[in-house]
Amino acid sequence: MIRLLIVEDSALMRKLLGQIFGAEPDFEIGFARDGDEALKLISDFRPDVVTLDIHMPRMNGLECLDRIMLEHPCPVVMVSSLTEEGAEETLVALEIGAVDFIAKPSGAISLGIEELAPRLVEKVRIAASVRIRRSRRLAERVRLAQPLPSAPISPSKPRHTASRPMTEGVAGHGLVLVGTSTGGPPALDAVLARLPSGFKWPIVVAQHMPASFTGPLAKRLDKICAMSVTEVARPTRLEPGNIYIARGDADILISSRAGALVAMAAPSDPEFRWHPSVDRMVRSAMKHLPAQSLIGVLMTGMGNDGATSMAELRSAGGYTIAEAEETAIVWGMPGELVRRGGASEVKRLDQIGQHLVDRVC
């Protein structure tokens, strides 16, 4: 049985979540109305996983989460709103140590939550299997994200601009393709913040997230990275020294225009389960660059998105890196790549940045 503590100040949400998990045969459920009550219950109930609302009276979800990570470390799934403020707070929660999040539906909650129910149950089941370590807290991740000694940060970032001269074709140029899902934002912090502003290849990131979250994710990464970070909302030319975050609830495609590589958001393809789709991103890049000019990086995330395409990339002569099980929050996506023999290298999270610098810079 999975012991689940639902922390939610809304009586309606407690009822709806209780009905969803109560209908599953493998859940034992407890309830708390706020953070104070949750902290009192955790030591006795000893939950395998907690769902935690962000906005609550007396003690908000972020304060409660920080206390849980310090006093009773266990997997936490945040329940967030789909607003920009909700996205920013959720990103902070993931920094502090939350495993994953679920976005509250807009409109009629009772109808929207039913549509989300299968994925919510799946997320909580996956979270219950995660081993939480105190070292996942923010202080440790800040240490991991310090710039590499061999990769000094320049005082000003290069900025992408449409008026810059076009490059002469794509020969000799390369591209790094990164795929992440559950646990991805802290992993992106640890890898991307260690890269120098002079990194010679553009980096494109597909992080499974709603559209309202990827913009704040890009802005937040831009503040901590030496490279410039932007969300791809329109056709955008890919240039060295820049990181491009795929827009959520859509897919990202790599193409070529007038000899220059571009990335563009495309409507999500129902053939792929997760969006932005890592598999679709990688396959589109392989149509416009030789495999030897591509590096695929697959990090923490449930499911298998990216494993098939990155295995194809390696078979074609490309280079792929899978995050090691010992550092991945969920070793689903990178683990599947390893099982398929598609990983050129398996690296811990704290090794990936240096490895990219060694190969590209």
Annotated catalytic residue 305: yes
pLDDT > 90? residue 262: yes
Q: What is the pLDDT of residue 112?
A: 73
Reading the block at residue 265, the tokens are: 């958001």
Q: What is the pLDDT of residue 114?
A: 80
The lowest-confidence range among 38-42, 132-136, 252-256, 346-350 is 132-136
The residue whose two tokens read 């923010």 is 138
Q: What is the pLDDT of residue 106?
A: 67
Q: What percent of the chain has pLDDT over 90?
A: 78
Mean pLDDT of 32-39: 95
Are the C-beta atoms of residues 242 and 230 closer than 8 Å to each other?
Answer: yes
How far is the C-alpha of 50 from the C-alpha of 283, rounded, in Å?
37
Q: What is the pLDDT of residue 16?
A: 92
Top-ranked range on mean pLDDT: pick from 69-73, 78-82, 116-120, 284-288: 284-288
| CA distance between the termini of the chain | 50
Half-sphere exposure of 40 (CA within 13 A, CB side): 8
Reported as a single tens digit per residue, the pLDDT across 164-199 is 333 333 334 799 999 999 999 999 999 999 999 999
Burial of 121 (0-12, 13-18, 19+ CB in 10 A): middle
Reported as a single tens digit per residue, the pLDDT across 302-331 is 999 999 999 999 999 999 999 999 999 999
How far is the C-alpha of 2 from the C-alpha of 339, rounded, in Å?
28
Residue 127 makes CB contacts below 8 A (sequence gap 6+) with 49, 75, 76, 77, 99, 100, 182
Q: What is the pLDDT of residue 113?
A: 80
- The whole-model pTM stands at 0.88
What single-letter amino acid sits at 51?
A: T
Reported as a single tens digit per residue, the pLDDT across 206-233 is 999 999 999 999 999 999 999 999 999 9
Q: Architecture of domain 2-136 in CATH?
A: 3-Layer(aba) Sandwich (3.40)
Q: Do domains 2-136 and 151-360 have the same CATH topology?
A: yes
Picking from 256, 248, 250, 318, the residue whose alpha carbon sits closest to that of residue 284 is 256
Q: What is the pairing mode between strands 76-80 and 250-257?
A: unpaired
Q: What is the pLDDT of residue 145?
A: 44
Q: How confident is the model at residue 205 (pLDDT cuts 50, 70, 90)?
A: very high
The residue whose two tokens read 């409507």 is 267
DSSP 163: T
* Domain boundary assignment for the chain: 2-136, 151-360
Reported as a single tens digit per residue, the pLDDT across 121-137 is 999 999 999 988 654 44
Q: Architecture of domain 151-360 in CATH?
A: 3-Layer(aba) Sandwich (3.40)
Residue 302 makes CB contacts below 8 A (sequence gap 6+) with 122, 123, 126, 181, 182, 330, 332, 333
Are the C-beta atoms of residues 237 and 162 closer than 8 Å to each other?
Answer: yes
The chain-wide mean pLDDT, for the chain, equals: 88
Annotated catalytic residue 173: no
128 phi, psi to nearest 5 deg: -65, -20
DSSP 145: T
Pick the catalytic residue: 80, 173, 305, 309?
305
Picking from 277, 343, 279, the residue whose alpha carbon sits closest to that of residue 311 is 343
Annotated catalytic residue 293: no
Q: Tell me how far CA of residue 321 lies from CA of 50, 143, 263, 276, 298, in angstroms.
A: 32, 22, 22, 19, 6
Pick the catalytic residue: 81, 208, 251, 284?
208
